[in-house]
Amino acid sequence: MNNNNSPVLISDKITPKEFLFSKLAISFYAIILLFVLGEVILPGFISFSHVMSVFRLSVFLGIVALGQTLVVLSGNEGIDLSVGSILSIGVVLSAFFLNGQNINIPKALLFTPTVGLAFGLISGLAISYIDIPPIIMTLAMASVVEGTSLIITKGFPTGNAPPLLETIGNGKIFNIPYLILLWILLIIIASFILKKTKWGNLLYGVGSNSLTAELSGVRVKRFRVFVYGICGAIAALAGLFLLSYTGTPYLNLGATYTMPSIASLAIGGISLAGGNGNYMGAVTGCIILTTLNSILVALRTTEAVRQITLGLLLLILVIVYTGRRKKW
């Protein structure tokens, strides 16, 4: 491949005034507004401890949303509806590999993401080389993963998180949860890869114009297979971190993460057509959704009401997005 012809993302510098009205800034305003609203509804909502609690709960969705971000940015109407199921099996497999022993953490860190990687690669191969639509393939893969999980566990997951992992999932330093600090590190690494590396430039290039990328020497199909594989590995890894918080594995823990992982991208201004957006947008989207859910819980709404609210929000976002595309 000729490096000089590789698709490169050019980031134009924006003025402070432009940033104040950017999609990312608007997402930050929405977070502040939601916390203020929460304080009005339930005094103490914006206390430091509660804010940290909301952010910690955002971590798991945020990790899943990272993989979803990569898939969506890669274009070709990319979307992964199997992330929730892969997260669920990640929880189950992590508990099995760990079995409550700190010494087994390296094994779980190696094998759990590897299983997720395998599921993601299978989806990517079918999407890229058999031309199965992403939404159909990943939905089918979700069923395969769920069935595999039932076969492995026979309906009763075994094992549990070791003390060290539970400390990471529930411990704090200076009243800041370790999980939040790990998420900040992940945000920094992901943002650097997307903005400053050749691989990140290729991802944006493939997503914005796959034909140009192909003509520049990029093996687009193989690249997208790899992206789906990474998404699967990240979702499984999210399962390991979720186990650090729950301590005990349960089936279908990831079921509630699939649709929010997509909604968080739309809220954060990531183009569902691919090639445009950044992980920080997804991060703000995750915090907005988690804060909104926390407000609904404070209002003592049922799970049904919360699910309806999320569905309506996602529907509105899709309508707005579709309207913008027609204008373009």
Local confidence band at 198 (pLDDT 50, 70, 90 cut-offs): very high
- Contact yes or no for 317/266 (Cβ under 8 A): yes
Q: Which of 74, 29, 35, 25 is nearest to 58 (CA)?
A: 35
Q: What is the dihedral of CA 11, 15, 18, 20, to 10 degrees?
A: 110
Q: What is the pTM of this model?
A: 0.88
Is 80 exceeded by the pLDDT of residue 17? no
Is 70 exceeded by the pLDDT of residue 291? yes
The H or E element spanning position 160 is none
pLDDT score, position 231: 97
How far, in Å, CA of 215 to CA of 218, rounded?
Answer: 7
Is 60 exceeded by the pLDDT of residue 59? yes
Local confidence band at 328 (pLDDT 50, 70, 90 cut-offs): very low
Q: What is the pLDDT of residues 205-260, one digit of tens each?
A: 999 988 888 888 889 999 999 999 999 999 999 999 999 999 999 888 898 899 99
Q: What is the pLDDT of residues 65-114, one digit of tens each?
A: 999 999 999 988 899 999 999 999 999 999 999 999 999 999 999 999 99
Distances in whole angstroms, Cα of residue 140 to Cα of each of 82, 119, 127, 132: 8, 11, 12, 11
